[in-house]
């Protein structure tokens, strides 16, 4: 997909009248500060002439910060499967920037189409963005009444309402249990099937009410529908299936010394990221009892950089969403 059909048509850059910096058209809707912004972009170890990938553009907070640290010869390629995010990217008028509407699991395909072989860094900010949650028409939040959609790309695949209308009770229970880690998954699935026998479950408020009646207890401060909505969103968008594919592609695209930076927001995502980086930091497998010296063993593909990082108390106080964020970093090693 080229820049025109990727939503990047007309993305032009230019310096201000004093020649001091690049011009960004930033609306209030695009000015949300992402979680762990400085820490994540700092971990990329930006090189002025480097090539970087923002695999989850969202509303461009990370992209803008990366561009502010790049030199005139640098390049940033952003991906997002959400057409609203791609449309928002048109506010960035910078010739160093390209936006493509695509799943991040197709990163290698995108870079190949753009003629890019290797990059200096890849950033993932996983999960749903604040603008998606705050748009009732997208159906991500139980706090706003709207159609039960939940698709990152509304033009791709069945909506949550369509899937719930045809899934079996067992399938619904398994999704809620697996992706939401919900101990009342069976009761919730039974309640959904009973409710849809009377009328389709078509809105977020309808689903939230059904779940609230089925869940007997919940942790203080947590809505009974939280885990169910998380589970359906992850399942509908195949987020946990996409992530390992994207991580493998990202590591393979990095130059030696390039950084892979990932921010995750719940334990299922973080577990995948942690295990992937740990595996990449170990030597490759060799046949058992093969007589090899230490220097003859296959080299690890990456090294883990520092420990997992969480948001500071000050950031959490300013943005409660940061409470569950975990930042992990790995660096690509040479191939010799």
Residues 6+ apart with CB under 8 A from 282: 300
Helix (H, G, I), strand (E, B) or coil at 289: coil
User: Is there a binding annotation on residue 104?
Assistant: yes
User: Is there a binding annotation on residue 249?
Assistant: no
Pick from 57, 56, 84: nearest CA to 246: 56
Strand residue runs (E) in the chain:
51-54, 75-80, 97-101, 119-125, 254-264, 302-304, 309-310, 326-332
Rounded Cα distance between 213 and 125, Å, is 34
CA distances from 40 to 65, 101, 121, 197 (A): 10, 23, 11, 47
Is 327 within 8 Å of 265 (Cβ atoms)? no
Helix, strand, coil percentages for the chain (3-state, nearest 5): 45, 15, 40
User: Is there a binding annotation on residue 61?
Assistant: yes
User: Is there a binding annotation on residue 184?
Assistant: no
Q: Which residues are annotated as part of the binding site for S-adenosyl-L-methionine? A: 60-62, 80, 104, 125, 132
Q: Which residues are annotated as part of the binding site? A: 60-62, 80, 104, 125, 132
């Amino acid at each position: 997909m080229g820049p025109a059909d990727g939503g990047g048509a007309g993305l032009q850059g230019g310096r201000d009248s004093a020649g001091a910096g690049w011009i960004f058209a930033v609306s209030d809707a695009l000015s949300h500060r992402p979680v762990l912004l400085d820490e994540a972009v700092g971990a990329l170890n930006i090189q002025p002439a480097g090539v970087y990938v923002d695999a989850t553009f969202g509303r461009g907070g990370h992209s803008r910060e990366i561009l502010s640290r790049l030199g005139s010869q640098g390049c940033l390629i952003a991906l997002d499967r959400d057409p609203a995010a791609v449309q928002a990217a048109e506010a960035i008028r910078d010739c160093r920037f390209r936006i493509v509407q695509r799943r991040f699991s197709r990163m290698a395909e995108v870079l190949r189409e753009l003629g890019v072989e290797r990059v200096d860094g890849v950033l993932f900010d996983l999960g749903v963005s604040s603008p998606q949650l705050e748009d009732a028409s997208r159906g991500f939040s139980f706090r706003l009444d709207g159609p039960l959609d939940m698709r990152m790309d509304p033009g791709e695949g069945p909506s949550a309402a369509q899937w719930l209308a045809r899934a079996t009770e067992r399938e619904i229970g398994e999704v809620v249990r697996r992706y939401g880690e919900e101990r009342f998954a069976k009761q919730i699935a039974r309640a959904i099937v009973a409710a849809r026998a009377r009328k389709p479950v078509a809105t977020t408020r309808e689903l939230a009410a059904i779940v609230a009646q089925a869940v007997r207890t919940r942790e203080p401060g947590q809505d009974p529908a939280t885990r169910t909505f998380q589970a359906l969103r992850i399942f509908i968008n195949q987020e946990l299936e996409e992530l390992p594919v994207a991580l493998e592609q990202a590591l393979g695209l990095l130059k030696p010394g390039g950084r892979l930076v990932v921010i995750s927001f719940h334990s299922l995502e973080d577990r995948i990221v942690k295990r992937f980086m740990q595996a990449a930091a170990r030597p490759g497998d060799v046949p058992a009892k093969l007589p090899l010296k230490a220097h003859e063993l296959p080299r690890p593909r990456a090294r883990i950089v520092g420990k997992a990082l969480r948001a500071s108390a000050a950031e959490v106080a300013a943005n409660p969403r940061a409470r569950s964020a975990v930042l992990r970093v790995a660096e690509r090693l040479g191939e010799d």
